[in-house]
Structure 1
Amino acid sequence: MTESNIQNPLTLKLSWREKFAYGMGDFGSNLMLCIGTLYLLKFYTDILELPAFYGGVIFLVAKFFTAFTDMLTGVVIDSRRRIGPKGKFRPFIFYASVPVALVATAQFLDTGLGLTLKMALSMLLFMLFGLFYSLMNCSYGAMVPAITKNPHERAQLAAWRQGGATLGLLLCTVGFIPIQTLFLDNPSLGYLVAAMLFAICGLFCMWRCYSGVKERYVEIMPEGHKPGIARSFCAIFRNPPLLVLCIANLCTLAAFNIKLAIQVYYTQYVLQDIHLLSWMGFFSMGCILIGVLMVPAAVKRFGKKRVYLGGLLLWAAGDLLNYGWGSSSVSFVLFSCMAFFGTAFVNSLNWALVPDTVDYGEWKTGVRAEGSVYTGYTFSRKISAALAGFLPGIMLTQIGYIPNVVQSEATLVGLRQLIFIWPCGLAIIAAITMGLFYKLNEQRFVKIIAELNARKSAGAAPVDRPGTANAAGRRVKAISH
């Protein structure tokens, strides 16, 4: 059956149950990811007693490694020829989530080994986590074009995804430390128990996503097209909207992860109340959730690019206000809410814009490669995450951080700069990049989809440069439900 035999893909509406199931996927993946983003560096420095510099090196090496495993995932996805009833992407979500949960828990195990062995084991576990997480999460993200071609429904899925991610981050922010502190006599056991509980919950959420979503437009590469890591890089550089999005996302994800990694240090040593982290997380993540719920209506009225830029400006303003007047608990929470409210629009639209670049790439080259485009994009995110994990470790060493003691005035100033000035500067760079160079607006996207449908109806897909393989041999498997 071809796409022309089913309902117009640009008007197909998804049920709220399917959107909820898709959102559960990022809720579950963030339960397993954010315990590492938020607390693993502190576990390294305070429990394993690794120097902060060593912790940064572990993040840097492991994240660079997983950047390439993302590329490998794209190759594996696009190479699939025999697509069974489970679909092209869903099997990876189901099977890879098991080792992700196991390794996410094992990362918080204190083995009592020597310094060198502890660092080697920590790096190995982090790399394994990244490998399996790539298989699970890249498949989850790349699945959107197979679910729907309706741009408004894609924005809805992006909002549900970001809503799930926000709730996962909120639960990790609010719930992890209270569980960990139940074991005051054995803090290392507290980290392990908390990690295990979050990983188990994350696993079942991923399975709920697997069972609740449907792949309607499964497209298989033509026989002559051989996916590879080089093609994933080409997918970025031959796709201008994707390249701009990658550069902007490099800045925004680094800013967001630096903020998350440092906030536990900031609340403990600058505000002298580590339990404030839970309250801050509750209110600020609540603001993110409100922002996520506003995304579809805001996009419909103003367009994706304007909403994205507005979110970046709110984010930068919140960080600047916090740096100047965020010395008290109340002002810190208030201005953090403002900044995180801005991030809701940015992070939601990152996922809504990527499927649009998939269609742009097909329109320009004649070959549709969800896996290569998506993992080319996530490559930039992993490079960003590598830098975001490495820089706090380096900077903590540079500002003279010493675990579990009263910090010097210079160290406290350094923590304030790390959590506010660095993210603010990166958000401004992202705004300039998107504002000046991102050209794929809603009107142009509608024309691209119309031309793609016309090509498929004609049985061929011309391309814009000689020597590029066309999509005439591509098989499209449209599944009607």
Structure 2
Amino acid sequence: MGQAARKLVEETGATNGVSRKFGMRDKFGYMFGDFGNDFFFLLVASFLMVYYTDVFHISAGTVGMLFLVARLWDAVADVTWGRFIDTRKPGKHGKFKPWIFRMSFPLVISGVLMFVHIPGMSEGFYLAYAFVSYIIWGTLYSTVNIPYGSMASVITSDPVERTTLSTFRTMGANLAGLIINVVGPLILFVNNKADSDRFLMGAIIFGILSLSCYMACYKLSTERIVAHEGDKPKGNLGKTLKGLLKNKPLLWILIASLIFMVNSMLIGAVNVYLFKDYFSNAKALSLVGLFQTATVFIAIPMVRPLVAKFGKKETAAAGLLLSAVVYALLYFLPNMNATQFIGVLTVAMFGYAFFSLVVWAFVTDVIDYHEYLTGLREDGTVYSIYSFARKVGQAIAGGVGGLAIAAVGYDSTREVQTQGALNGIHSLATLFPAAVFLVIFLILVFLYPLSKKRTLQLAVDLAEKRKASN
């Protein structure tokens, strides 16, 4: 970025009267936000199903339907809450931070209540309790996650520094994942069985840690970007919708992220059967999880210099192409053992780690583009639309995984699967991801319009537009 362009971008960082410049305090503060989110999100994603089936004794099929309905409702709640926030005026501490502070307490309490087991109740009671408590938790999760995700666009307007926020956010999520996946099983299970008292104890412990992280996010993060009084939204939903439909960067990043989410969840589901049945080595899955986290942390220090030199779109696209090539290579090498497969797979995981690390920075760019098109600063609305797409992707993936496994001939009643089923599982775990990563690569290269040059120019144009409106 040229000196004049950077000067214009930096000038927007003082619109809230903040003297302290963007720095490590903000990065760590933003990291703690997703650290807090994922203490409970990953606890729920990893262990709530087994709690419902083994403690509440609800059938797995019913739990699957509950998750599908709840995620679709969550998607609606995201958009509703994002729109609500954008109709509120910023307070003393900003537009988004106050909601993180207010709503984190009821969110954590509702999360703990999900794991309360009252002995001796009927099946109907447990089903109703699971449905109501899970829906409430998911709704309250939106009230914290939407302002948290939206806040990145008002912490700094520098496109490169926004990439560091996205990187630190991913770092927070991965740290929470390490704790949940390593410590969680040691707390939650007794003699290889889900224990209701241990689950409640775990929920309380992770709830306290989650709340502490939210408070750290609130204290350390600073909102700097505030829309000019004349540009603040006045409930013009028609203008907002027209702007969203014209926002090509938003539409294409929505499609790319939805496809990426479905693919990621399908990979996770299929890998269980790949290692359990194809390689006959289920324990190797722990190595996959460990190496996946390791690839993210290896990629983290590389992201900022790569984005500064080449751009977000270019860096993410290159990583996705690498993943597509490696997964295709794995498809054509079916005789590998589990260790060899994981060794090659690690390269693919390293490739798509770059998309995961910069995706939240893409979102801040499309929020800026929305303001450029409409003159409205609607961080919450635009971010909630993106979150809506991710929730829809989660809901789709929840059903696609089971259907795909069944389609290749997997039979849970067989001790050993047919060779056709095993070959189908191998194809699902290799060829399908290769094709999907290639599609996302093509979307970024040929359809997503915000290249490095256009992103920097957008920052300059928006800064000039804000100055002119003052």
Say yes or no: TM over 0.5: yes
Map 1:112-127 → 2, pairs under 5 A: 117-127=125-135
RMSD: 3.4
1:331 to 2:334 alignment: no
What's the CA shift for 1:346? 0.7
Q: How far, CA to CA, are the matches of 1:326 and 1:13 in structure 2?
A: 55
Report the CA distance between 1:437 and its aligned residue: 0.6
Match of 2:247 among 208, 227, 239: 239
d(CA) in 1 for partners of 2:327, 2:199: 30
Equivalence for 1:468: none
Give matches, 1:363-442, under 5 Å: 363-395=372-404, 402=412, 406=415, 408-409=417-418, 416=426, 419-442=429-452
Change (3 A) 1:146 1:39: same
Counterpart of 1:147 (choices 151, 155, 170) is: 155
In the alignment, which residue of structure 1 is the partner of 2:303?
295
The answer to whether residue 95 in structure 2 is matched with residue 85 in structure 1 is no
Partner of 1:216 in structure 2?
224
- Matched-pair contact (CA < 8 Å) for 2:11–2:463: no
CA deviations 1:439-478 (Å, max 9, x no partner) are 1122222323323333333337xxxxxxxxxxxxxxxxxx
Query: Shift of residue 367 of structure 1?
Result: 1.5
- Of the three residues 29, 32, 46, the one matched with 2:37 is 29
**Matching residue's letter, 2:468:** A
The alpha-carbon deviation at position 76 of structure 1 amounts to: 1.8
CA contact (8 A) 1:37 1:260 kept: no
Q: Which moved more, 1:130-139 or 1:38-47?
A: 38-47
Superposed displacement of residue 265, structure 1: 5.8
| Corresponding residue number in structure 1 for 2:460 | 450
Q: Is the 8 Å Cα contact of residues 62 and 126 (structure 1) preserved in structure 2?
A: yes
2:112/2:207 contact within 8 Å kept: yes
C-alpha contact 1:289 1:344 (8 A) present in aligned 2: no
Structure 1 residue 280: Cα displacement? 2.7
Displacement of 1:386 after TM fit?
A: 1.2
**Aligned partners of 1:369, 1:223: CA distance in 2, in Å?**
10
Matched, 1:256 2:256: no
CA shift digits 1:113-140 (9 cap, x unpaired): 6555544433333322221111111111
- 2:231, 2:375 within 8 Å by CA — same for their partners in 1? no
Q: Give the alignment partner of residue 12 of structure 2, picking from 9, 34, 38.
A: 9
* Counterpart for residue 26 of structure 2: 18
Distance 1:388 1:6, change over 3 A: closer
Check whether the contact 2:272–2:285 (CA below 8 A) recurs between aligned residues. yes
Q: Equivalents in 1 of 2:156, 2:205: separation in Å? A: 34
Within 2, Cα distance between the matches of 1:123 and 1:318?
A: 41
Q: CA deviation at 1:347?
A: 1.2
Query: Matched residue pairs, number?
Result: 455
Q: Does 1:348 align with 2:357?
A: yes
Decide which of 96, 99, 103 is 1:96's aligned counterpart.
103
User: What SS does the aligned partner of 1:368 have?
Assistant: coil
Residue 314, structure 1, aligned to residue 325, structure 2: no
Distance in 1 (CA, whole Å) between partners of 2:465 and 2:447 is 28
Percent identity of the aligned residues?
A: 29
Q: 1:97 to 1:283 in 2, by over 3 A?
A: same
- Residue 67 (1) aligns with residue 70 (2): no
- Asked if structure 1 preserves the Cα contact closer than 8 Å seen for 2:277 and 2:417, the reply is no
2:370 alignment partner, one of 336, 361, 373: 361
1:44 CA drift (Å): 4.5
Structure 1 position 459 matched with structure 2 position 435: no
Query: How far is 1:438 from its partner?
Result: 0.8
Cα deviation 1:301-346 (Å, max 9, x = unaligned): 2221121112212333444455544864423432342232123211
In structure 2, C-alpha distance between the alignment counterparts of 1:228 and 1:106, rounded to whole Å: 38
The 8 Å contact of residues 235 and 372 in structure 1, kept in 2 or not, is answered as no
Unaligned runs of 5+ in 1: 461-481
CA distance in 1, matches of 2:438, 2:124: 40
What's the CA shift for 1:234? 4.5
Retained in 1: the 8 A contact 2:13–2:224? Answer: no
| TM-score where L is the length of structure 1 | 0.82
Greater shift, 197-206 or 57-66, is seen at 197-206
The one-letter code sitting in structure 1 at the alignment partner of 2:297 is: L
CA distance in structure 1 between the aligned counterparts of 2:128 and 2:443, rounded to whole angstroms: 38
Provide the C-alpha distance between the structure 2 equivalents of 1:235 and 1:326, rounded to a whole number of angstroms: 52
Preserved contact between residue 372 and residue 462 of structure 2 (Cα < 8 Å): yes
* Partner SS for 2:227: strand
What's the offset of the Cα at 1:148? 0.7
Cα distance in 2 for partners of 1:273, 1:110 equals 34
Q: Which moved more, 1:326-335 or 1:18-27?
A: 326-335
2:108–2:207 contact (8 Å) kept in structure 1: yes
1:181·1:187 contact (CA, 8 Å) conserved in 2? Answer: yes
In the TM superposition, what whole-angstrom CA distance separates every residue of 1:247-304 from its partner, at most 9, and x where no partner exists? 0000011222233355456555555555544333222201111112211111122221
CA contact (8 A) 2:12 2:225 kept: no
Q: Does structure 1 retain, via aligned residues, the 8 Å contact 2:316–2:358?
A: yes
The residue number in structure 1 matching 2:3 is none
Amino acid across the alignment from 1:459: S
CA distance in 1, matches of 2:335, 2:57: 30
